[in-house]
């Protein structure tokens, strides 16, 4: 029992530290831009896409997704190989939450991180892939109809939370409750976007590549 608890704690810590890697910040810095000082000030893929360039935004999206998926999927398997008797489902959920917490509150950036959408999607794929397929379809439809990344992200998180109950309820409450809490966290992290939507100041996504901001732009106050 003690060994399994130590393994779970170690997996949760490793998941947090992996999730806390600020890929958006690192990728933008490699291009000479402090992503926290341009655009929305967010370290996520959308802001990198807008302020650094399409390829770098897509790279950030992939990295943020993988840092959620890898711990939620692989660490429970590794723990089992080490002889841990911890419940794989519970361990996967713990790793998923830890990775998302790392992205949202990264120790490497003073606990000021992103909103956790891509990392949450990767984490959910690691523990409940059917829900991700539903969420992906919902996100595409909502985004194409509105062109608001924030609206698509919030509503998709709620769709996944709702769909998880009929999908996984028979297997217990763990996964539906976990996805519901993740959905609430994502919606809460977008509270600033909700205010801008209500004020009519939220930016619609533009597929046209924007030029990287000039050095002077880095001194602008994030919105």
Kindly state the average pLDDT of the residues 41-64: 95
Render pLDDT for 137-163 as a digit per residue (tens, 0 to 9): 999 999 999 999 999 999 999 999 999
Within this chain, do residues 132 and 172 fall inside the same structural domain, yes or no? yes
Spell out a b/e string for 140-170, using b for 16 or more CB atoms within 10 Å of the CB, else e: eebbeebebbbbbbbbbbbbbbbbbeebbee
Same domain, 176 and 121: no
> Within a domain: residue 192?
yes
Q: Please indicate whether residue 7 or residue 138 has the higher confidence score (pLDDT).
A: 138
C-alpha to C-alpha distance for 113 and 110, rounded to whole angstroms: 8
Q: Which of 42-46, 169-173, 180-184, 215-219 has the lowest mean pLDDT?
A: 215-219
Distance CA 153, CA 115 (A): 10
* Final residue in a domain of this structure, among 126, 155, 188: 126
In this structure, the answer to whether residues 140 and 89 fall within a common structural domain is no
- Decide if pLDDT at 218 tops 90: no
The three-state secondary structure class of 201 is coil
In total, how many domains does the chain have? 2
Q: How confident is the model at residue 5 (pLDDT cuts 50, 70, 90)?
A: confident
Distances, alpha carbon 166 to alpha carbons 122, 158, 178, 199, in Å = 21, 14, 14, 36
In a domain, 52, yes or no: yes
**Same-domain check for residues 14 and 78:** yes
HSE, CB side, 13 Å, CA atoms: give it for residue 94: 19
Predicted confidence at residue 221, as pLDDT, reads 34
Tell me how far apart the alpha carbons of residues 74 and 92 are, in angstroms, rounded to a whole number. 9
Q: What is the pLDDT of residue 217?
A: 41
What's the confidence (pLDDT) of residue 207? 65
- Flag whether 220 is in a domain: no
Examine the fold and report which residue of 91, 126, 161 is the final residue of a domain before the chain moves on. Answer: 126
Give the mean pLDDT of the chain.
90
Residue 171's pLDDT is what? 83
Q: Which of 126, 153, 188 is the last residue of a domain?
A: 126
What six digits make up the tokens of 32? 């000479």
Q: Residue 71: inside a domain, yes or no?
A: yes
143 in the same domain as 121: no
Does residue 223 register a pLDDT over 50? Answer: no
- Give me the sign of the Cα torsion angle 78, 129, 180, 39: positive
Classify residue 132 as exposed, middle or buried by CB count within 10 Å of its CB (0-12, 13-18, 19+). Answer: buried
Domain span at residue 133 reads: 128-208
In a domain, 74, yes or no: yes
> Could you tell me if 142 and 192 lie in one domain?
yes
Res. 212 pLDDT band, cuts 50 70 90: low
Between the CA of residue 10 and those of 13, 71, 206, 216, what are the distances in Å? 5, 11, 42, 43
Question: 19 with 122, same domain?
Answer: yes
DSSP assignment letter at 86:
S
- Asked if the structure places residue 219 within a domain, the reply is no
Residue 216 is assigned to a structural domain of this protein? no
- Is residue 217 assigned to a domain? no
- pLDDT, position 208: 62
* Whether 155 and 100 share a structural domain: no
Residues 95 and 158 in one domain: no
Question: Does 216 have pLDDT greater than 50?
Answer: no
- Model confidence pLDDT, tens digit, residues 25-40: 999 999 999 999 999 8
Q: Are residues 56 and 4 part of one domain? A: yes
| For range 111-138, the mean pLDDT | 95
pLDDT of residue 204: 87
33 and 122 both lie in a single domain: yes
Decide if pLDDT at 115 tops 70.
Answer: yes
Does 80 share its domain with 162? no
- CA distances, 43 to each of 58, 112, 115 (Å): 13, 9, 9
């Amino acid at each position: 029992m003690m060994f399994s608890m130590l393994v779970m704690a170690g997996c949760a810590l490793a998941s947090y530290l992996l999730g806390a890697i600020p890929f958006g910040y690192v990728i933008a810095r490699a291009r000479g831009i402090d992503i926290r000082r341009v655009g929305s000030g967010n370290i996520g893929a959308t802001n990198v896409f807008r302020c650094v360039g399409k390829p770098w935004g897509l790279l950030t999206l992939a990295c943020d997704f993988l840092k959620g998926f890898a711990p939620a999927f692989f660490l429970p398997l590794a723990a089992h190989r080490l002889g841990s008797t911890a419940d794989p489902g519970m361990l996967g959920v713990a790793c998923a939450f830890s990775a998302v917490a790392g992205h949202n509150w990264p120790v490497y950036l003073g606990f000021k991180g992103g909103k956790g959408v891509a990392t949450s999607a990767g984490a959910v794929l690691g523990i409940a892939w059917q829900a991700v397929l539903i969420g992906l379809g919902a996100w595409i439809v909502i985004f194409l109809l509105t062109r608001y990344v924030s609206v698509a992200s919030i509503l998709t998180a709620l769709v996944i939370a709702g769909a998880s109950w009929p999908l996984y309820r028979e297997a217990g409450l763990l996964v539906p409750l976990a996805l519901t809490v993740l959905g609430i966290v994502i919606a809460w992290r977008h509270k600033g976007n909700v205010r801008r939507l209500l004020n009519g100041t939220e930016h619609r996504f533009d597929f046209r590549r924007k030029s990287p901001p000039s050095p002077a732009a880095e001194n602008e106050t994030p919105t």
